[in-house]
Structures are given as structure tokens and as C-alpha cells.
């Protein structure tokens, strides 16, 4: 089996690759599991060294739109049994640079679908959409609880572009050009590594940086609701989307992945339980209106009946999520007394 991961050098893409390599095989759309022979990581950046050390990993470094052009080598796309389309410009970037978002999220997703359609290979395609398709606004308040059939009313360009991607995936799937599944990722926390341009970045930074002994911005009020999922739960959902049979998957509407409903204040309290007052003392509570404007439109509470029926579950508690991060990233934890 050959697999492509776009955005494969990013945090989620690399973690997905590691998980797939570790399991060694994959079931696609209800079929029997087959050994994974190759995972091609398409990304602007080079993948981490642990991945390139694996003989099954191939890296294509460059702009995704370029890689999907008629001039580029079609071989990896032609040979792919499954494509995980994770490459995207993030929310904050897209709000600041409209054209960047349209190119990276809208045009690239369309080009990817047209590429595989032209090859007539009907791969399984998992499209990483986002809870950012849901947006609250004074003119159109979100319902208190988001359900599987709630109408998305995105309030960011990123959300609109992801929602359009879902529609394209649905119709290319209905037409039989691809076997597409769209999953809406929740706010992933705790992300290791460096901050990115996502408006949601601080949801990881406010945990990761204090654990590293560094100051961190916490730019929104304590009561700000957030629907979080750990990296492990997120990867679980992405893989399950590829594995589920058509009957298990159900409608072509994008699937909300499970999330833990919490608040910024509860996250800070969990951090204090894990790492003490020394950790929360490192949080800078200076409000950032630009981030607040985006984040406050996102829903905090999402009922995910479809995901549950697929056997997917949310994290137990945010404290458990932090402890998982500490376990997985010992070198990134520098604050004294955190085990």
C-alpha cells in the first residue's frame, strides 16, 4: 500500500506518519488491512530525521500547488491508495493574507481532487477540515451545542475555505472520482514544538511554554470555551476516517471529531495541578483583540454522535492531556518538579 500525506512534515502529518509506520498496515474503507510499503510526505519543509531514516518514507519537498501541476511528476499521486490531505495555511495567516488562504486551502484542495480525478485511481482521501467551519456572530449566534447536522456559518476565511473543501470532497466522492472523507479537527492541544500562525496556537503555547520554563501568552479571558483534542485522539480520528467502511462512515457530510469541552481557565487550572503555581505564574494574561476576535467565534461544546458510533472518544480530562504531553516530550519539560 502506498500513502501520501500532504503537510506530511508538519506536526500532525509527521505524527500520522509515525503512527502508520508503527502499525505497519492499514485497512482502507472496510477492506482487509494491507502492509504499508511507502508513505510519501509532501510538504514545503523537510520531514523530521526520524522519519526520513525509515526506508518506507519518501519526501517530496516543495509547494503543494506546484506538486499538483501538470508539469510535476504524477507518479506518487497515481500510485497512492490513500491520501491524507493535511496541508493548509492556518487560521491566523488566512485572516491576515486572504490570497494565501485561497491558494493554500481552496485552490490546492481543488487541484488535488482534480489530479486524482484525472488519474482515475479512486484513492481513499481523508480531508482534514476544522471546527473553524463553525462560527458564532451577533447576526447568527451558534446554537449552544453543535451537533452533526448543525449548519456551519464560518466567520473566518480559513473556516470558509475548509467548508468549501468539504463540499468539493463530497461531490468528487458522490461522482465516484475519489473515496473522500472529511473530518473536522478540534483544537489540538498540546502541540509540541514552535508556535505557528494559528489563532488557536496559544491553546498549546499556554501549556507548552510554561512547562519549558518560558513565559507564554494567554490572550483571551478565563471563561473562553474551547473544544480540545489531544494529538493522539486527533490522529486516531484521522486514521479511523480512512478505515471505516462506506456503511460505517455514512453521509458525505464532514464528521466532527470528538472533543473535550473546557475553558481557558480550566486549562490553566489543570496546568497548575500538573506543574504547580510556578507554571501558571509564567502566563501573560494580556488580551489580544485579533486572536480574541477569531477564537470567540468558535464553538466550545460539540456533540459527536457519528464519531461515537465509529468508536471514537474524547480525552478524559485536560489534566490527562497535559500528563500525556509531559510523558511524550520529556526533553521539552524544563520546569523543576514536573514528572
CB of 105 closer than 8 Å to CB of 158: yes
The residue (of 11 and 177) whose beta carbon lies closer to its own copies is 177
Task: Report d(CA 157, CA 142) in Å as an integer.
Answer: 17
The residue (of 153 and 234) whose beta carbon lies closer to its own copies is 153
Is 164 a residue that touches its own copies (CB under 8 A)?
yes
Q: Report, in Å, the least distance between residue 81 CB and its own copies.
A: 24
158 is catalytic: yes
Among 175, 286, 330, 336, binds its own copies (CB under 8 A): 175
Task: Report d(CA 181, CA 56) in Å as an integer.
Answer: 25
Catalytic one of 84, 106, 127, 158: 158
Q: Report, in Å, the least distance between residue 252 CB and its own copies.
A: 7
Positions in 98-127 near its own copies (CB under 8 A): 98
Is 251 a residue that touches its own copies (CB under 8 A)?
yes
State how far the alpha carbon of 337 is from the alpha carbons of 71, 85, 107, 256, 276, in Å. Answer: 55, 40, 48, 37, 8
Is 248 a residue that touches its own copies (CB under 8 A)?
no
Q: Report, in Å, the least distance between residue 216 CB and its own copies.
A: 30
Q: Report, in Å, the least distance between residue 126 CB and its own copies.
A: 18
The residue (of 100 and 212) whose beta carbon lies closer to its own copies is 100
Positions in 69-98 near its own copies (CB under 8 A): 98
Among 250, 292, 313, 335, binds its own copies (CB under 8 A): 250
Task: Report d(CA 241, CA 116) in Å as an integer.
Answer: 19
Is 174 a residue that touches its own copies (CB under 8 A)?
yes
The residue (of 47 and 135) whose beta carbon lies closer to its own copies is 135
- Per-residue mark of binding to its own copies, 253-292 (x: CB under 8 A): x---------------------------------------
Count the site residues for its own copies by CB under 8 A: 25
Is 64 a residue that touches its own copies (CB under 8 A)?
no
Judged by CB under 8 A, the stretch of 158-166, 213-221, 232-240, 319-327 that binds its own copies is: 158-166
The residue (of 2 and 130) whose beta carbon lies closer to its own copies is 130
Q: Report, in Å, the least distance between residue 5 CB and its own copies.
A: 26
Is 151 a residue that touches its own copies (CB under 8 A)?
yes
Query: What is the SS3 string spanning the chain?
Result: CEEEEECCCCHHHHHHHHHHHHHCEECCCCCCCEECCEEEEEECCCCCHHHHCCCCEEEEECCHHHHCCCCCCCHHHHHCCEEEECCCCCHHHHHHCHHHHHHHHHHHHHHHHHHHHHHCCCCEEEEEEEHHHCCCCCCCCCCCCECCCCCCCCCCHHHHHHHHHHHHHHHHHHCCCCEEEEEEECEECCCCCCCCCCHHHHHHHHHHHHHCCCCEECCCCCCCEEEEECHHHHHHHHHHHHHCCHHHHCCCCCEECCCEEEEHHHHHHHHHHHHCHHHHCCEECCCCHHHHHHHCCCCCCECCHHHHHCCCCCCCCHHHHHHHHHHHCHHHCCCCCCC
Q: Report, in Å, the least distance between residue 120 CB and its own copies.
A: 13
Is 154 a residue that touches its own copies (CB under 8 A)?
yes
Judged by CB under 8 A, the stretch of 41-49, 121-129, 161-169, 268-276 that binds its own copies is: 161-169
State how far the alpha carbon of 126 is from the alpha carbons of 79, 82, 129, 204, in Å. Answer: 16, 8, 9, 24
Q: Which residues are catalytic?
A: 158
| Residues at the contact surface with its own copies, assessed by CB under 8 A | 98, 137, 139-140, 149-155, 157, 160, 163-164, 167-168, 170-171, 174-175, 250-253
Amino acid at each position: 500500500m502506498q500513502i501520501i500525506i500532504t503537510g506530511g512534515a508538519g506536526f500532525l502529518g509527521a505524527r500520522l506518519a509515525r503512527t502508520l509506520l508503527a502499525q505497519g498496515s492499514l485497512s482502507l474503507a472496510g477492506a482487509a488491512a494491507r502492509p504499508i510499503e511507502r508513505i510519501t510526505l509532501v510538504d514545503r519543509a523537510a520531514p523530521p530525521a526520524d522519519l526520513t531514516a525509515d526506508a518506507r518514507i519518501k519526501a517530496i519537498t516543495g509547494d503543494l500547488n506546484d506538486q499538483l501541476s501538470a508539469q510535476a511528476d504524477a507518479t506518487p499521486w497515481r500510485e497512492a491508495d490513500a491520501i491524507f490531505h493535511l496541508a493548509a495555511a492556518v487560521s491566523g495567516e488566512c485572516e491576515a493574507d486572504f490570497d494565501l488562504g485561497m491558494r493554500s486551502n481552496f485552490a490546492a484542495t481543488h487541484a488535488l481532487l482534480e489530479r486524482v480525478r484525472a488519474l482515475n485511481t479512486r484513492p481513499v482521501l481523508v480531508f482534514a477540515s476544522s471546527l473553524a467551519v463553525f462560527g458564532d456572530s451577533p447576526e447568527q449566534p451558534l446554537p449552544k451545542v453543535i451537533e452533526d447536522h448543525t449548519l456551519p456559518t464560518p466567520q473566518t476565511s480559513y473556516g470558509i475555505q475548509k467548508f468549501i473543501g468539504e463540499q468539493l470532497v463530497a461531490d468528487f466522492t458522490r461522482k465516484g472520482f475519489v473515496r473522500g472523507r472529511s473530518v473536522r479537527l478540534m483544537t489540538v492541544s498540546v502541540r509540541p514544538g514552535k508556535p505557528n500562525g494559528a489563532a488557536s496556537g496559544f491553546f498549546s503555547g499556554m501549556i507548552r511554554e510554561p512547562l519549558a520554563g518560558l513565559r507564554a501568552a494567554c490572550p483571551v479571558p478565563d471563561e473562553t470555551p474551547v473544544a480540545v483534542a489531544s494529538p493522539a485522539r486527533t490522529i486516531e480520528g484521522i486514521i479511523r476516517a480512512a478505515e471505516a467502511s462506506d456503511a460505517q462512515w455514512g453521509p458525505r457530510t464532514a464528521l466532527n471529531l470528538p472533543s473535550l469541552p473546557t475553558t481557558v481557565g480550566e486549562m490553566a487550572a489543570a496546568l497548575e495541578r500538573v506543574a504547580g503555581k510556578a507554571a501558571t505564574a509564567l502566563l501573560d494574561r494580556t488580551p489580544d483583540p485579533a486572536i480574541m476576535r477569531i477564537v470567540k467565534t468558535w464553538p466550545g461544546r460539540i456533540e459527536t454522535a457519528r464519531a461515537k458510533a465509529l468508536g471514537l472518544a474524547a480525552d478524559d480530562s485536560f489534566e490527562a492531556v497535559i500528563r500525556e504531553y509531559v510523558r511524550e516530550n520529556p526533553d521539552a519539560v524544563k520546569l523543576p518538579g514536573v514528572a
